[in-house]
Copies of this chain bind each other. A is one copy, B any other.
């Protein structure tokens, strides 16, 4: 690792340490076992909106690579989420988490429970990956570096505090421990390779901060739920 690589890695880790959504009050309550069943279901249904858009943002990033080599690695991310065949992959595992928590898969697939703030957060992230240079888009994915620890804590918290959710429903979290670590390291290597000038390094740091804000805003919206917002049917 070069000196510049060490410094940039340190700056990126500082962003995650300060802004990653593990510190969000809703996540803190989730892991402390304080969520009601309805709150947990609301989170699962809304976070699914994020999950199902991961392959979309990854395809947009894929389209920014000039060479087969980096595409091969990034393609695996899409395959991880979509699966090789029907009934496999991360999106399917999230649907099963929903079922284990008492949600019908149609309730996730039809987006009926997705809150406006969650839609905006997800659209914002997808459009960031659509419109920004590849360095920014890949740097935004570096929240993966923090995901394995979050997943491990979450598995333990769910097993302890929400035993009404069948342990098989937690397969998504278990799979992401290793996938997240591998994806995060691969993306970090690309960012360190590309971000040479101070301006590029600032962009990488800003992209990761933006992504932390996306995840944080998503939890803000879930925490708020339907408590504040347009009157039901008011705009119909």
Q: Which positions in A face B, CB cutoff 8 Å? A: 52, 55-57, 59-60, 62-63, 66, 68-69, 71-72, 75, 78-79, 81-86, 89, 91-92, 130
Are A91 and B72 CB-contacts (below 8 A) given A63-B56, A78-B62?
no
Closest 9 CB pairs of A and B: A59-B63, A68-B82, A59-B62, A60-B63, A59-B59, A56-B63, A71-B82, A68-B91, A72-B82
B78–A75 CB distance below 8 A: yes
> Closest CB-CB distance, A6 to chain B, in whole Å?
29
Contacts of A57 in B (CB 8 A): 63
Contacts of A82 in B (CB 8 A): 68, 71-72, 75
Q: CB < 8 Å: which of B52, B59, B69, B84 contacts A72?
A: B84
Nearest-neighbor residue (CB-CB) of A69 within chain B: B86
Given known contacts A59-B62, A75-B75, what 16 new A-B pairs fall within 8 Å (CB)? A55-B68, A55-B71, A56-B63, A57-B63, A59-B63, A59-B71, A60-B60, A62-B62, A62-B78, A63-B63, A63-B130, A68-B89, A69-B86, A72-B83, A72-B84, A75-B82
> Closest CB-CB distance, A71 to chain B, in whole Å?
5
CA distance A60 to B60 in the complex (A): 6
Contacts of A79 in B (CB 8 A): 75
